[in-house]
Amino acid sequence: MEVVIKIAVLASGSGTNLQALIDAPDLGAEVRLVVSDRPDAGALGRAEAAGIPSRIVPWGDFGSRTEFTTAILGEIESSGAEAVVLAGFMRVLSDDLIAAYRNRVLNIHPSLLPAFPGAHAVQHALDHGVKVTGVTVHFVDEEVDHGPIIAQRAVPVLPDDDLASLHARIQAEEHDLYPKVVGAFGRGQIHVEGRMVRWQ
Q: What pLDDT was estimated at residue 3?
A: 56
Three-class secondary structure of residue 52 per DSSP: coil
Q: Which of the four CATH numbers 3.30.750.80, 3.40.50.720, 3.40.50.170, 3.60.20.10 does domain 5-199 have?
A: 3.40.50.170
Least confident of 3-7, 68-72, 119-123, 171-175: 3-7
User: How much is the pTM?
Assistant: 0.95
Q: What pLDDT was estimated at residue 191?
A: 92
- Answer yes or no: 109 catalytic: yes
Q: Which of 109, 138, 167, 175 is catalytic?
A: 109
Cα dist. 195→94, 148, 149 in Å? 20, 5, 8
Q: What is the pLDDT of residues 136-155, one digit of tens each?
A: 999 999 988 889 999 999 99
Q: What pLDDT was estimated at residue 38?
A: 96
